[in-house]
Each structure stands twice: as structure tokens, then as C-alpha cells.
Structure 1
Amino acid sequence: MTYQEEKLFFDQQMQCTITGHDGVIKETDANIFSWKVSTSIYDAHPFFEIIKGFLEIFEKEETTYNFPCIHLEEGKLEKICDVTIKINTKEVVILLFDYSSKYHELNKIAQQKNESVLRAKELELKNKFLIDKEKFKNSFIANINHEIRTPLTSILGFIEVLQKTNLNFEQEELARIIKRQSLHLNSLIEDMVDISKIESGKIKIVEERFLFVNLMEGFQETYSKLAEDRGLAFETYIDPNIQEYLIGDRTRVFQIINNVLNNAFKFTEEGKVSLSVTKNFQRTNKLSVSFKIEDTGLGIHEEDLENIFDRFTRFNRDKQISGTGLGLAIVKDLVDLLNGEIKVTSEPDKGTTFDIKLPFKFEISKAKPEKKKKKYSLPESKKKFRILVVEDEESTQFLIMKVLIDHGSFFVDVAMNGEQAISYMERRNYDLVLMDLELSKIDGYKATHMIRKNYGDKAIAEVPIIGFTARATEAERDKCLRSGMDDFIAKPFEQEDLLYKIVKQIAKKAAS
């Protein structure tokens, strides 16, 4: 076979198709399949639906995906192709390599005798793709979580500073709106992170003894204020026969009830929302508690009820209401994790009722008083306390400096990275270090380790260090403490919480 003949044969085994980001075919040589210009690639074969997912996560740099041994059909024509998909800012290039004859030659006997092996391999490839996709998604959510929390820290922090200044009525209202929308954005991020944790099995149910009545009264207080602002009635009933202290996962119970109450208020414009908490049954040291949340809101159509707990699903047909559609999906997943039950009944324009049953345990003993947050005060000093802020975000630097300087008890120095921080500490004594974890050159973990291990001078080696980061997870907190830090605060943070932790560590150091 001559070179030209070989080239012609090879060209006939390839097909190049170019589409726009909308999936419409702009060019194709139709060597293998007779796809037409101006038709949609998504109609050509279901396999190409995956392009939509790739376009959603595309980030400007050209990205290539390779898929071996893909079965494609067009009418009676069947081909086994290796598929390469290249995505750039202007178009999507799809390259097909027809290896049907080679695959059939090499696998003819194997296909006859080992069809089960091939099916297993196909499932393995699909599973690997799903696993890789899941890893990418979780990584993507974690990064988005970090990148959004950082500017949110500054937005919420400066709004809090602004609200303490002399504002007129209109300015106060604008500040409240900005803060409310920022908190809403933060809650949406937390929803996505929670879903990711649930899917990856990273949420652990913790059984701890907590003041159940206190938790329920917290809902009464919070949502009574919201009801008053919205012109709604909020009715509550808490069964006095429920033990004051219960054993269970307080955090997850709070998430469940809070999400459902929040959903009820979101879809109720007039009338009332009610929360009824009753004892379902009790056996020895175990009991089941029923939570009934009713509203007189928009309601849900009967055909939509079976899908109400699906992710990214919203049923506000006649009204645009903000949200991701993740709240109730999280509720259902958490109820299942707690071995509980949840049911919903609803009627359009009349309201919705959620019935939730959750299991708890309790101790047959006298209740102990709940621990209160210990108060700390700065040691008496004729001079101000010096704080080193290690942070590379200019807006966060300014926010922390503003908070600490306005307090009146602190001098503040700022270092851009761990290397600069260590250099400052070698020249000046500090009473406390606020250490961001995501730093260039030397990150917060390594800088802390060096401070703790490399210096004989106690003024350096034993300085209190508080880590802070936008990666607000228990794992991150534990990593901070293991690296030698004394405490941890997540972004975005409340200014009172930040000051409390600073005063606490300085007071503890002075008392040691």
C-alpha cells in the first residue's frame, strides 16, 4: 500500500466535527457518521450529553477529554470509536477514531467466551468516570467554598463596622439588606458543602448530651422575630413531658428543624407558621420525638410531592423565590442518617405540613446545668497588647486592623506570609499571632511548626497563635490544633467571637 493509499485509508477512519458551545454542528467531514451541519450534536447520540457537564465547569483554558472504546450508532451503522473532546473558548472539537475492525479482530474470541468480563470492564470504566467526576465535584465545591468565604469575611465584617457608625434611616436599611443577602449567600455555600459531605460519607453523627428545651426555645425566639417582621403569626408548642436533656446529634437536629422552618417562612406570605414538638413514644432510656411544622403558604401540587426532596428542585410555580433547592434534600439526607422519618402533606394555596420523627436517648439521672461560656478579660497593663496579623488579603487585613484598633487595647502589625511573620517575630515580641492558613512561600501550618520547634526563646516559641481560614471544617480545625495553634476561627467570623478568642488566649498566657 502506497503512502497516499495509507493516508486515505487512515483519513477514512477519522471524523472531525466542530460545534459551538450550544451544541450546534458548524463543520463536519462526515467520514464515519452522516451528521449534518446546523443540527445538534446532542441529537446525534446520547453519549455527547456529557459535553454539557464539561461546559459547566470550563474555565477558559483549552481542556481535552479522551474516551476509549465508545459504542456509537446511527441507524443500523454501529462503530466502536475512541473519542477525543477538546473544549476552548469558542468551540468544541470532537474527534472520532474508528477502531471497530481492530477491536473486533482482537476481541472476537474473547467476546464469545468472556462477555461477562467485557460487561464488567465497561462498568469499571463507567464507575471510574463517575468516581473521577465525584472527586472533581468535591474538589470544586471545596475551592469555591474557600474563594467565596474570603471576600464574604470582608463584606460582613465591614457591614458590622458600618452599622456601629452614625447612619440615617435609609443607610441603616441598605446596610441591613447587604448583610441579609451576604448571610443568604453564605448559607447557600454551606448547603453545597453539606451535600458534598453527605454524598462522600464525611458527615459523622455525634451523640452528645444537650439541653433539648434550650434548642427549641432558640427556635421560638429566632422565628418569632422573623414572623413579626413578616407580619405572620408563629405558634409553638413544646411537650412538657419531653426530658430537659437528651442525647443525640444537636447540630443535625438544628439543621433539620431550621431548614424546614426557614422553608415554611419563605413560602408563606400571610397567615401563620407553627411548630409542635411532642413525645411520640418512650421505652426505657430511648424515646421518639415528633416535630410538626405547618404553614399557610403557597403549598405544593400533588404531582410534585414525590420529588420534593430531590436536589436542585423548586416548586414555586407562580412566584420567584431565591434558593438552591438544596435545603429539603439536606433535611431528607440528615433524617435518614439519624434513622428518623419524614412525611409531607400539602395543598396548593392552603399550606404544607412536615411531620418529622427523630430518635433520642436520655440519661435517667438528675440534669446537670449546661456549661456557660467562660468570661475572660485582658491582664492589667500600662501598654497596649501587640498583635501580629499574618494575612495576604488586603481587605481582610484592613478589617482585622479596624476591629482591633477600635477596641483600644491593641497595636497591630501585618505580615503578608509565613516567612515575613517569622522575620517580624525575631525582631519584636508579640502577645498573639493571628495566622491565616492559606499563605504563599510558607503557609500557616508550616510557619506555626517552625515557631514552636525552632526557637529556644519562649517569647517566640510560646506565643499564642490563632489560625483562621475560609475552609470551615472540623478537619481543618483539628489540623490547626495539631500543628501547634492554640485556637481556630472560621471565615466569615463574628467580630465579638474574634475578640473573645484573642482576649481568652492572652489571658490564659498571662495566667500560665
Structure 2
Amino acid sequence: MEYQEDTLLFSEKTQFILVTVEGIIKKTDAKLFDWKVGGSIYDCHPFFEILKSLIDSFEKEETTYNFPCIHLEENNTEKICDITIIINTQEITVILFEYTSKYRELNKIAQQRNESVLKAKELELKNKYLLDKEEFKNNFITNINHEVRTPLTSILGFVEILEKTKLNFEQEELARIIKRQSIHLNALIDDMVDISKIESGKIQIVDQRFLFVNLIKGFDETYSKLAEKKEIEFSTYIDPNIQEYLIGDRTRVYQILNNLLGNAFKFTEEGSIHLSVTKNYQRTNKLSINFKIEDTGFGIQAENLERIFDRFTRFNEDKQISGTGLGLAIAKNLVNLLNGEIKVTSQPEKGTTFEVKLPFKFEVTKTTSQKKKKKYTLPETKKKFRILLVEDEEATQYLVMKILISQGNFFIDVALNGEQAINYLERRNYDLVLMDLKMSKIDGYQATRMIRNNYGDKIISEIPIIGFTAKIGEKERDKCLRAGMDDFIAKPFEQEDLLYKITKQIAKKAAV
């Protein structure tokens, strides 16, 4: 095939252009762009204005310049080219390599990759947001838990003291209402803390050997009194073939059944409630137990049964029944943690039945009896025992002083923080310290470690210390013991429990 003298040929995707140093096109194969011989390269596209600066900076030796991914347009058509420019003393060679489809494919891949990176980043940010949100919620609940339990301790404590005074019928009823509502508020706080722990994965299942029969009997005693007040029937049945002692998480089993029974009593105004405990199966040292709670309460509509275990779900707003709507959600989550099953059936206005299946273990050989709470008495002495109360809440100070002074065996000094407590201990001998954990300056943990580690005087370093906290749980107890405390008591507390722990520690110290 013959070619015109003023054209060059290389390939369909390549175009050669020979240009004079003045910018006039001498030759071109015109495969990509129809640029005419004799025309100015500067009129072809604004990009080629770059030639002027390249020519001005050119010296003696031939120089090559490469420019990738240049967008060139002609007659509404865009081509993406790599451009090579070779400059020597006689002429300029411009070579266009057209990679439009390749660049667009690469751009598409890069765009997809960028979108993938952006989506991954978005997911990362969402996860971080959820984690931050969860941390904020847990910290908020922890702070609310502490700030509410502290005044609640005073309310319940003073109500107990008030109940032991001479009250007329109306005053007794008012005191009962205050106590009942305070206990209810404490239960709501417990629910919030429990659901927060479950959602954050902080609840640990602890399998221990416990007297199973006593757990069920405890429900019988507690709810029989409530049933009597509501004028409904309450009964329990325990399969006699179930072992007396089982291995499992007693605390979580108690929470599940207590929430389900509490729910049944809440929504049953007449009729009866029945708790039955039966054995499903037993293999070697494992068994499955079925708990069935039946009531004749308001019942649940069929369309609501699927959402019955959702948080904050309540379907009886017209009944004016208090509660957070967390009890069933907590029960469901705890059943799952124990590898159990829970289901519900219900008929409106006829009643509801919850069934829970839980796995347990048992030891065939051991037949030891239940460990009884050991009795302690204060050592005989003509002097009163001196207690140092380290507490910055005025109401709690007054409550503890009122309880202890009423016993006739104690003197009480009050320190507002750990620093003040240490100053008191250095000046006076005490028999026991009640140490609040959350205080300004030096907190209870720091003060305890200083008492245990900084003094050679055993009267100071070995003094019994009881942690005094609004936080509850095994984790908090372990933290207290690791700090050097001998025991701890959670707020709100019962007077008998406080007196028992104080007596126990003073008696143990005297026996050494």
C-alpha cells in the first residue's frame, strides 16, 4: 500500500507528528486526530503550549519528555493519550499513544476501589461511633447507678429506723409506701445495670454447687406473701427426682425466675400463679430442667408475642402498671447465656405461660449439707468499740451513726475523705473502718493501700476495713479485697447486714 509523502504509519492507536521548532506540522499519519500538515501544533490543542517552554529550555542534546493520561478533544470526541515529546536542534517529534479504554477501565477499577475503601472507612467510623456510644451509655449508667443508690441508701435506712418507732396507722402506711417505692426504684436501677452488662458482654457465667431446693423454696416464701396481699393463689411444685444440690450459676437462675415471676404477679389481678419445676432428662452427671410459670393474668395478643422479649416493650399501658420493660429482655438474654431455651404462650384475658429449659450438672458423690451463716458476737468489754466512718455524704453519715449509736456498743468518728481518715488513724485507735470507695482527694482504694503498706504499727496497718460502695457485684468485691479490705457492703444495705459484718470483723480481729 502506498502512503502519502507527508504521512507516517505506525498503528491505529498511535499517531506520529513531526513539528518544526516554530510549531508548524511537517508530517503526521493522522490516525487519531485529523491535524493538517502546514497547520500550527499550537492550534490543535492548548496542551501543546507546553512546547514553547520546552523549546526555550532546550540545550544541545536531544531530550525526551513523557506526559501520561492527557485528555485531548476534537469535534466533541475525547481521547486519553500518553504523549512523548522528543526535541532536538532540527525538529520536534510528538508521539500520541491512545489508551482511552484502558484508562477508563483503570479509572473504573480505581473508583470501585475508592468506593470500597470509603465503605470500609464508613463502616469503621460507624463501629467506632457505636463503641463510643456504648461506652458513653455504660459510663452514664454507672454514674447514675452510684448517684441514685447513695441517696436511696439513706431513704431505705431511715425508713427502717422510722418503722421501729411508735407510729399511728396512717404513718405506718406512709412509711410502707416510701419503702415499697424505694425498693421498686432500686430494682429499676438493677435492671438498667444488668441490661447494660449483658449488652457489653461483661456478665460472666459462674458455675458453683448450690442447694437447688432452697432456691425454689425461697421463691415460695417470698411470693406467697405477695400473693396473700393481692388475694390470689400462688403454688410451687418441685419434681422429687431432681437432685438436692446442682452445679450452675445460681445468681443468673434466680434472676431469670425472679423476673418471670415478677412479671406474672405484675399482670395478674385475680386467679392464680403456678411455678412448676420438672426434669426433662438426665445423662451421666448432666440434666436439663424445665421451669414453667403459668398465670391467669391479662394475657398477650398474638401479634405482640414476637416482640415480648424486646427491651422497653410494654403492651399493657392502659393497665397503669409500673416498670421499665426490661425484665423479660434480661430473662431472655440470661437464658441464652446459660445455653437454655425460653418460650411463651398466651391468650388475652386468660393468662400467659413461660417455659424455660436450662442445663445443669450435679455431683453424685458429694452429700455435704448447706453452709450456714456463722454467728459472731462482739468481744466482752466494758468499753465501747470505736468506728471510723469515711463517708462524704451527709445523709449516709447520719444514717450509719444512727444505726450504730442505737446499738449502745459503738462510738463513731466521721472522716470526709481518705486523707482525713489517715490523719484520724494516726491520732486515735479504732476498732474498725467503714470506708466509702468514691471520694475526692484520696479514694477508698488508695486510702486502704496506704493504711496496709505505709505503717509499721500493726494497730493501724491491720485494722479491719469494710468497703462501703454503691457499686455491686463480684468484680467490685474482688477489687476491694485486692486493695486490702476485709469485706465490703453494697448500698443500699440492710441494717442487720451492716451490723453482722461489723460484728464479724471485730470478733475475728479479737480472736487473733
TM range (shorter): 0.7 to 0.9
Q: How does 1:358-507 map to 2 (within 5 A)?
A: 358-507=358-507
Name the residue aligned to 2:260: 260
Report the residue type matching 2:451 in the other structure: I
The corresponding residue for 1:142 is: 142
Query: How far 1:317 moved relative to its partner?
Result: 4.4
Change (3 A) 1:380 1:282: same
Shift of 1:114: 3.2
Number of aligned residue pairs? 406
Is the Cα contact below 8 Å between 1:387 and 1:433 reproduced in 2? yes
The range that moved more, 109-118 or 264-273, is 109-118
SS at match of 2:287: strand
Q: Which residue of 2 aligns with 1:511?
A: 511
Matched to 1:395, the amino acid is: A
Task: Please say if residues 111 and 118 of structure 1, whose CA atoms lie closer than 8 Å, have aligned partners that are also in contact.
Answer: no
When normalised by structure 1's length, the TM-score is: 0.78
Helix, strand or coil at the partner of 1:236: strand
1:281 maps to 281
2:288 and 2:229 map into 1 onto residues whose CA distance is 33
Alpha-carbon shift at residue 128 of structure 1 (Å): 0.8
Partners of 2:352 and 2:326 in 1: CA distance? 18
Residue 298 (structure 1) aligned with residue 298 (structure 2): yes
List alignment gaps of at least 5 residues for structure 2: 1-106
The structure-2 alpha-carbon separation of the partners of 1:366 and 1:301, relative to structure 1 and needing over 3 Å to count, comes to same
Q: Report if aligned partners of 1:431, 1:463 keep a CA contact under 8 Å in 2.
A: yes
Mark the CA change 1:505 to 1:113 in structure 2 (over 3 Å): closer, same or farther.
closer
Helix, strand or coil for the counterpart of 1:407? coil
Question: Percent of aligned pairs with the same residue?
Answer: 79
Give the letter for the 2:457 counterpart: D
Deviations 1:53-88 (A, max 9, x none): xxxxxxxxxxxxxxxxxxxxxxxxxxxxxxxxxxxx
Structure 1: distance between partners of 2:460 and 2:501: 19
- Counterpart-to-counterpart distance in 1, 2:293 and 2:131: 38
Residue 108 (structure 1) shift? 9.3
Q: What amino acid is aligned across from residue 383 of structure 2 in structure 1?
A: K
Q: What does residue 133 of structure 2 align with?
A: 133
Equivalent residues of 1:422, 1:451 under 8 A apart: yes
Q: Which amino acid aligns with 2:438?
A: E
Q: Distance in 1 between matches of 2:463 and 2:309?
A: 49
Deviations 1:176-226 (CA, angstroms, capped at 9, x unpaired): 111011000000000010011111111111111110001011111111111
* TM-score, scaled relative to structure 2: 0.78
Question: C-alpha distance in 1, partners of 2:191/2:307?
Answer: 18
CA distance in 1, matches of 2:317, 2:409: 55
For residues 190 and 108 of structure 2, what CA distance do their matches in structure 1 show?
52
* Cα 1:112/1:357, change in 2 over 3 Å: closer
**Hey, what's the Cα distance between the residues in 2 that align with 1:208 and 1:452?**
32
Cα distance in 2 between the residues matched to 1:314 and 1:461: 54
Judged with a 3 Å threshold, the aligned counterparts in structure 2 of structure 1 residues 506 and 190 are, in CA distance, closer, same or farther, namely: same
Q: Which runs of 5+ in 1 are unaligned?
A: 1-106
State the partner residue of 2:315.
315
Secondary structure of the 1:114 match is helix
Moved over 2 A (4+): 107-115
Q: Which amino acid aligns with 1:126?
A: K
For residue 421 of structure 2, what is the amino acid of its counterpart? A
1:324-351: CA deviation from partner (whole Å, max 9, x where unpaired): 0000000000000011111100011110
- Could you say which structure has the larger radius of gyration? 2
**Structure-2 residue corresponding to 1:169:** 169
Secondary structure, aligned partner of 1:151:
helix
Residue 178 of structure 1 aligns with which residue? 178
Task: Specify the SS of the correspondent of 2:318.
Answer: coil
Counterpart mapping for 1:44-193 below 5 A: 110-193=110-193
Deviation for aligned residue 1:453: 1.2
CA distance in 1, matches of 2:475, 2:219: 28
Once the two structures are TM-superposed, the CA of residue 117 in structure 1 deviates from its matched residue by 1.7
SS in 2 for 1:192: helix
Shift of the 466–113 alpha-carbon distance from structure 1 to 2, 3 Å rule, reads closer
Q: CA separation of 1:112/1:273 partners in 2, compared to 1, >3 Å: closer, same or farther?
A: closer
Indicate conservation of the 8 Å contact 1:311/1:326, yes or no. Answer: yes
Please show how residues 2-21 of structure 1 align to structure 2 within 5 Å. Answer: none
CA distance in 1, matches of 2:111, 2:141: 41
Q: CA deviation at 1:122?
A: 1.0
1:196 and 2:171 correspond: no
SS in 2 for 1:408: coil
1:109 to partner: Cα distance: 8.2
8 Å contact from structure 1 (residues 449, 483) kept in 2: yes
Q: Which amino acid is the alignment partner of residue 186 of structure 1?
A: N
Q: Which amino acid aligns with 1:325?
A: G
Question: What is the identity, as a one-letter code, of the residue corresponding to 2:343?
Answer: K
CA-based RMSD of the aligned residues comes to 1.2
Partner of 2:64: none
Q: In structure 2, the residue corresponding to 1:318 is in which secondary structure?
A: helix
Give the AA of the match of 1:230: K
Separation in structure 1 between the aligned mates of residue 300 and residue 483 of structure 2, nearest angstrom: 50
CA distance in 2 between partners of 1:378 and 1:202 (Å):
39
Provide the residue aligned with 1:87 in structure 2: none
Give me the whole-angstrom Cα distance separating, in 2, the residues matched to 1:221 and 1:109. Answer: 71
* Residue 318 of structure 1: how far off its partner (Å): 3.0
The Cα offsets for residues 400-439 of structure 1, whole Å up to 9 and x where unpaired, read as: 0000000111011111111111111111100001010111
In the alignment, the residues of structure 1 paired with residue 233 and residue 298 of structure 2 have an alpha-carbon distance, to the nearest angstrom, of: 16
CA distance in 1, matches of 2:111, 2:196: 39
Q: What is the one-letter code of the residue matched to 1:363?
A: E
